[in-house]
Amino acid sequence: MVHDVVIIGAGPGGYLAAIRIAQFGKKVLVIERDQVGGECLNYACIPSKTLLHHASLYMKTMALIKKKIFTGTVEINWHRLQKTRERVVKTLTMGVKHLFRNTGVEILKAEAKEIGRDHVTVDVGGDNRRIKFRKLILAMGSSPVPLPNIEFDHVRILNSRDALRLMEKPKSLLIVGGGAIGLEIGSLYNMAGANVTIVELLDRILPFTDREISERLEAEMSKAGIRILTSSKVVNVARDGDWLEVEVEGKEGVERIRVEKMVVAIGRKPNTTGLGLEKIGVEMDSKGFIKVDERQETTVENIYAIGDVTGPPMLAHKAYWEALNVSESLFGDGPLPSPRHYPYVIFSKPEVFSIGVNEDEVDGDRVVVGRFPFSALGRAITEGSRTGFIKVIIDIETGDVLGIHIIGENASIYSSIASLVVERRLDALEIDHTVFPHPTYGEGLWEAVRDAFNRSLHKGSQ
């Protein structure tokens, strides 16, 4: 039997491509060695947001008890919370399997061993099987990168998967890496009561975001009790019974930090090794990311790649877009127009949203910048979410909104509308002339746009 399309990997990119291609009436086989839904659904995006949501509710409840609006005592049942995470993941993985059944997608639990030009050899429970295809889509995802000479033991030295599946809360935690993953894990355990230290090699956390936003986030997380060491690196780790002695080299020399566990979140590498891709002519860069064209096709005809294996940014919504792009390119009206930007949401405490150009990336004479604080926004005040601000960057000549950057309790609320505004390059005047309902968070975006032209109506009330 020859399958129309074989997809290796059932993560966000793989499963979405399978569903869309099946909608074209094609016979699709998905090969997955682990769980349907991949890293995002099983071990990252969904589990972390489940845990963060409940930890945030705990913090809000504690704040209301402190204000004597609520009375009584409250604590987190961590074991029960982890069971909730498992149920959420199971609900969504079952949903993907249901979609597969409805669209006729076949799923095979197996590990790809070697890829040829018209077939893939897989290991199914110890037995090798050769599967033939007309077209192949590579969607194998990525894996955490360990520190040099310090391997994961998954007990004390953890990767991000391990950190989100702990059945007991650690009292202390050191996180290596001040990117999105490290900051979300740090926020989670800080809210749960752990002593958290974050070590970042560069001079600031979230180095890819607008500097004003990242500096404000560092200040807010420090205020919450998280210790952040920038321009620092871990140089040695020693085990002492149930503890780790971590040596951190920073601006003022080497410091020894004693913690229960360490989480390494310094990046991810593509799962492209050991499959024989080089033998058949699939070209990759020096880091192992697969090179593709505008149709997601590799350097080998009829072999395509999507998601993390094609390189940064490693985002589920990037994998979604590439899945649609390859599907429409093969059987629809593609390729799709390439996105100008990919939006970022970091579910730290407080949250961060970012899309488009940063203020420090553009000539100040070409743009105007507007800001509006949550401390002046009615809806934010009603919810006790006064921390942070909205920032917009507007092209002086065209009026196009080039970037939107937000830090605040509910920054992610803006993610969809802000993405539309920047991706479509809406004119600031169009936003200014739109009626935003009151009282909502959306009004903050309207006020920030008006502030760029010194016309904000409520900013003075902060």
Exposure pattern of 344-364 as b/e (b: 16+ CB <10 Å)?
bbbbbbbbbbbbbbbbeebee
- Distance CA(110)–CA(126), nearest Å, equals 9
d(CA 56, CA 53): 5
CA–chain centroid gap for 340, Å, is 18
Q: State how far the Cα of 173 lies from the Cα of 154, in Å rounded to an integer.
A: 14
The DSSP code for 36 is T
Q: What is the CA radius of gyration of the chain?
A: 24
Between CA 288 and CA 418 the distance in angstroms is 33
**Positive/negative CA dihedral, 397, 399, 402, 405:** positive
Which residue is catalytic, options 119, 154, 405, 438? 438
> How far is Cα 188 from Cα 173, in angstroms, rounded to an integer?
11
Strands 28-32 and 243-250: unpaired
Residue 344 β-bridge partners: 354
Tell me the two tokens of residue 38: 């991949």
d(CA 55, CA 317): 25
Quote the strand ranges of 251-307, DSSP E: 253-259, 261-264, 268-270, 303-305
Q: Which two tokens stand for residue 61?
A: 């409840």
CB atoms within 10 A of CB 167: 9
Answer yes or no: are the C-beta atoms of 317 and 341 closer than 8 Å.
no
- For residues 32 and 260, what is the distance between their CA atoms, to the nearest angstrom? 34
Kindly provide the b/e burial profile for residues 425-443, where b requires at least 16 CB atoms within 10 angstroms of the residue's own CB: ebbbeebeeeeeeeeebbb
**Terminal C-alpha separation, the chain:** 68
Q: Distance between CA 151 and CA 134 in Å, rounded?
A: 40
- Separation of alpha carbons 395 and 247, rounded Å: 46
438 among known catalytic residues: yes
Catalytic residues: 438
